[in-house]
A and B are shown apart, each in its own frame.
Chain A
């Protein structure tokens, strides 16, 4: 295969995939947000929606987003 394999040997690729698969098995809760994080998420979600209407708001909160 050309592309992914061009800079890494096939063995390297297999090893990386095995590593990732293993990590995946060990990360069952990694996307579970805490209560405070959920508040932070939805606050910023709607702030961003507002920012789409008023880009000045996005500019003001830039250090927290994207």
Chain B
């Protein structure tokens, strides 16, 4: 579909004029208009991931080639979007490393290692990943700083020239099960950072810190605290009315962690945060008397100077399925029913695409962008979803439900093209069988979901299992029209867990996939125009920048994230997972193109007979799936990023108890 509004065209032209201007000082104005640079996680405060650069376009995309790559010294998931300023790329990796690279050559300028203790891994749901850094100069004479959140909750400011630490503060309690994986955002001289950890029982919050000193300016808790004590704000007093009992607090805090999306609107002076799932997932355990449980799974608008609540919209009231609303928030101006509206858009895990008026929080539309059976529709009169008969698995005894806790859309960022007016969503279709745990038991420092995670256990027939997975589970690149509330085109991927999106004024949409392919599609019809085959999954959000009059496209490659970890055997492409930064431009470089060893993707461990009590095996299966599978893979079929327990050495077998119970490997 090649029609687009005059409004979008005007916006596109106005952005292309500034494309070649390079900001000298990285401040608020620069992030609003970064020209040919990429200065914040989603490029600008609007987080559209749309670039006005069009030097690389549909007509010449075939000339794009790998200019250089940089191999990182890590093998965990790569989720970061690089930042580019003044010819330098700043990019973070798993285990909280930050690299500064020469954008022309890939030469490393400096490298910072936060030296996160390996035991921190037990506090994460989805690997020791990091989605990126932020940069900022407080004024023209101030030094440029690089900010990032370390996995163990430290917020760290680095000197951008040397990589030396300027300051470091602990943004989370060290005795809690918090982690930080999201990219910070810089707003009005403050570093805004959230955190994760809801599966292990924490109380979510977002904090703001002074860019120069690290002094905390404010903190907004996303869920109420102990109901027997005063709440921190009137907004939490109001939220308390939507919770029953006090189990949520006793079980660790209720969740609602804002682990990814933080978006600032300079015009309205509002900060929007996306909040996470309930803790435990099972709402009957979390809030036994019912209630919506504010502000779980919500979009919340705050005053950035104080953290004061302004409005909220809860995308999944009474979350019961790990349906976070942490997914990317995107700001845009749309013409809806002939009226210009300032909107905020989100495609959260629950499978509905939401358009809200970002001044007031008014719901403008909510339609399914992927398969979702937990709700039939969203009632536009009430703004609430209408749950289906499958949704309440506690009452119906268990059911397959779309989407699974992996979400119809997860952390991989989507992109809104100001030129086509379309949102490009990295969607996935995965059902999950939800059933409540039969025996409720709170386990300290463990996952406490209240959902039986052993339901994906070894099926009776592997042929039937294979067939059903092939039939039901797949990924998609969806081009969504947020005004018409419908798909315009889609590209189906064989597997879920594909990469984030970049759209450009060159009428191109870039996306990586689980199998290591990095592709460019026609933004109007989804036709594949170009591809590069790498040697590991390409999942992170791509970005583009202009340097010396040339346009570059960059993306981090490397397998990781919860889907790749837990169903890794299905998705693995390379036995050691090469984490790299790939940087492309128009020219033929003729570099060796290492492609993943596809033969290895079909390997399975050989079974062997064991004279073990079947009931004991059953118990072990349940213990494994409720404690180990989130890292080592469902049915002990792991991605090679994490040790494959089916191939443990004799020594590891001998040391098994001391490793699992004694933690002897945590110091290595």
Which residues does A use to contact B, with CB under 8 Å?
1-8, 12-13, 15-17, 19-21, 23-24, 27, 30-31, 33, 37, 40-49, 51-52, 55, 58-59, 61-66
Closest to A46 in B: B471
B467 touches A42 (CB 8 A): yes
A56 to B: closest C-beta gap in Å: 8
B647 touches A19 (CB 8 A): yes
A6 touches B433 (CB 8 A): no
A64 touches B471 (CB 8 A): no
B250 at interface by CB-CB < 8 Å: no
Known contacts A48-B471, A59-B400; is A5 also within 8 Å of B75 by CB?
A: yes
- CB contacts (< 8 Å) of A6 on chain B: these are 118, 665, 668
Total contacting residues, chain B, CB less than 8 A = 50
B470 at interface by CB-CB < 8 Å: yes
A65 touches B465 (CB 8 A): yes
- CB contacts (< 8 Å) of B401 on chain A: these are 55
B649 touches A12 (CB 8 A): yes
SS class, residues of chain A in contact with chain B? helix
- CB contacts (< 8 Å) of A20 on chain B: these are 575, 600, 603, 647
Chain B stretch 83-131: residues in CB contact (< 8 A) with chain A? 94-95, 118, 128
A66 touches B433 (CB 8 A): yes
B468 at interface by CB-CB < 8 Å: yes
Known contacts A17-B575, A59-B398; is A7 also within 8 Å of B467 by CB?
A: no
Instruction: Give the residue of A7, A48, A59 whose beta carbon is less than 8 angstroms from that of B399.
Output: A59
Q: How far is the CA of A62 from the CA of B75 in the complex (A)?
A: 35
Total residue contacts A-B, CB cutoff 8 A: 135
- CB contacts (< 8 Å) of A58 on chain B: these are 400, 431, 468
Chain B stretch 61-101: residues in CB contact (< 8 A) with chain A? 73-76, 94-95
Instruction: Give the residue of A1, A45, A55 whose beta carbon is less than 8 angstroms from that of B390.
Output: A55
Closest to A36 in B: B463
B599 at interface by CB-CB < 8 Å: yes
- CB contacts (< 8 Å) of A12 on chain B: these are 649
B647 touches A65 (CB 8 A): no
Jot down 11 A-B pairs with beta carbons below 8 A, ordered by A: A3-B74, A4-B640, A4-B641, A8-B643, A20-B600, A24-B603, A45-B468, A49-B472, A62-B400, A64-B468, A66-B465
A45 touches B603 (CB 8 A): no
A33 touches B398 (CB 8 A): no
B373 at interface by CB-CB < 8 Å: yes
A3 touches B466 (CB 8 A): no
Q: Per-residue CB proximity of B398-418 to A under 8 Å, as 1/0? A: 111100000000000000000
B602 at interface by CB-CB < 8 Å: yes
Q: How far is the CA of A13 from the CA of B461 in the complex (A)?
A: 32
Chain B stretch 293-346: residues in CB contact (< 8 A) with chain A? none
